[in-house]
Amino acid sequence: MVEKLEAIANQFCINATIKSISTLQSGHINDTYLVTTNTSDSFVLQKLNSYVFKDVIGLIDNKIKVAQLISKNIESKHLNILSTQFYKAKNGNFYVKGDDNEYWNLQNYIPNAITFDKVPNTEVVFEAGKLYGSFIALTNNATALEIKETLKDFHSVPFRLEQFKEALENASQARKEEAQKEIDFVLEHQLEMSKIDALKNANTFPIRITHNDTKLSNILFDKCNKGLAVIDLDTVMPEIVHFDFGDSVRSICSNAEEDNDDFESLEIQLDYYKAYCKGYAKSTKKLLSKTEIKYLPLGVKTIIYIMGLRFLTDFLNNDKYYKTKYATHNLVRAKNQFALVNSVIKNNSEITAITNNAFGLEDIS
């Protein structure tokens, strides 16, 4: 295996001798490796999952264009953050196609950086908000780049509801009975959770270049816990900001992991939400419209609902998509996310007030 990895890596223009290749424990979709050399430079070699990503060439093209744009804008604005950089292969492409028809790309490894799987404090949350907000600001002039939608309907509630209803129709009676409360929850809230899509389809919001996987572990921090770089550009696509914003809040501001089964205690931590909003607004308040800001809280609620819906759908489908550790794992995940939706509903007034305050808006109800 090492020989194969070295053969792939040596097809890129790195001007160095490879010393070692080891597995990087990051991400659940692609295979990722750390390549060390006889120089001070190290690299990240990645095999892209062509089962999940049907348009791998489009995905790579998106990553290259966005990374280059961000790097250019960081330099022109003299910002103290970094950008992912990708390397060309000797064939002139930014990828190598292996014997197994899988695609590989190579990018820079940023040394002395740290990541967090769990939030340690509000300062880190603020930095996360500021950096994900910076991503939106730094890609704001990307309209001419022809960024592709490589995962169609990724955050579409109507599409996810279609998948859910098909799964429900074909599910076993036992699974339907076990998940009846969650099925009822989905149907009860489907109209409200489809509102963001309706507004998007009515051209209420501008389409921007968004990250679409805005979890905490996709940010690198320096040793002083300052935001250093946004990584993992596999899902960059044209989209509205509400799903990026909402997914960060879902993963960063929840008080528990998404498979925690203590549903009664699950909640959005408002001190973290306040910190995230402050950081995000610092980077985006001059960019986002009042209408975009008004619907950020609904974006939070909607993306959490989508994740719960996806887990529930997979449970009804006998767990075909997500890896599970026990029979009801996906159902527990769905219950967890719907409990989080209820926390957002319960705290909606305060969440709205925090959002308005962070963006310096008195009343946008």
Asked if residue 117 belongs to a domain, the reply is no
- Mean pLDDT confidence for 83-107: 93
Whether residues 338 and 231 fall in one domain: yes
* One domain, residues 102 and 132: no
Residue 106 DSSP SS3: strand
- Quote the CA–CA distance of 174 and 178 in Å, as a whole number: 6
Same domain, 74 and 183: no
- Tell me which of 108, 136, 162 is where a domain ends: 108
Task: Tell me, yes or no, whether 363 lies in a domain.
Answer: no
pLDDT higher than 70, residue 327: yes
pTM of the model as a whole: 0.92
Give the per-residue pLDDT at 337.
97
- High-pLDDT (> 70) share of the chain, %: 96
Q: What is the pLDDT of residue 27?
A: 53
Residue 140 and residue 72 share a domain = no
User: How many CB atoms sit inside 10 A of residue 122's CB?
Assistant: 16
Say yes or no: 18 and 129 in one domain: no
104: CATH = 3.30.200.20
Q: Are 20 and 1 in contact (CB under 8 A)?
A: no
| Whole-number pLDDT of residue 29 | 63
Q: Is 42 in the same domain as 170?
A: no
The larger pLDDT score, comparing residue 20 to residue 30, is at 20
Query: Are residues 232 and 271 both part of a single domain?
Result: yes
Amino acid 98: pLDDT: 85
pLDDT given for residue 364 in this prediction: 52
- pLDDT tens digits, one per residue of 231-242: 999 999 999 999
Least confident of 28-42, 173-187, 210-224: 28-42
Residue 287 has pLDDT above 90, yes or no: yes
Q: Where are the alpha helices (DSSP H) in 171-295?
A: 173-178, 180-193, 195-201, 241-252, 270-284, 290-294
Question: Is residue 115 included in any domain, yes or no?
Answer: no
Query: Do 234 and 138 sit in the same domain of this protein?
Result: yes
Q: In this predicted structure, what is the pLDDT of residue 117?
A: 87
* pLDDT tens column, 222-272: 999 999 999 999 999 999 999 999 999 999 999 998 889 999 999 999 999
* DSSP annotation string for 107-149: EE--TT-B--SS---HHHHHHHHHHHHHHHHHTTT-GGG----
Q: Are residues 343 and 203 in the same domain?
A: yes
**pLDDT score of 26:** 53
CA distance 98 to 104: 7
102 and 128 together in one domain:
no
Q: Are residues 233 and 262 in the same domain?
A: yes
Does 56 reside within a domain? yes
161 and 292: one domain? yes
Domain count, the chain: 2
- Out of 64, 80, 108, pick the residue that ends a domain: 108
113 falls within a domain: no
179, 314 contact by CB (below 8 A): no
The residue from 108, 141, 162 where one domain ends is 108
Q: 104 falls in which pLDDT band (50, 70, 90)?
A: very high
Per-residue pLDDT tens digits for 131-172: 999 999 999 987 757 899 999 999 999 999 999 999 999 999
28 pLDDT more than 60: no
Distance of alpha carbon 201 from alpha carbon 195, whole angstroms? 10
**139 lies in some domain:** yes
Centroid of chain to Cα 196: 18
Under the banding of pLDDT at 50, 70 and 90, the label for residue 1 is: confident
Domain enclosing residue 30, as ranges = 2-108
User: What CATH number has the domain bearing residue 323?
Assistant: 3.90.1200.10
Is residue 234 assigned to a domain?
A: yes
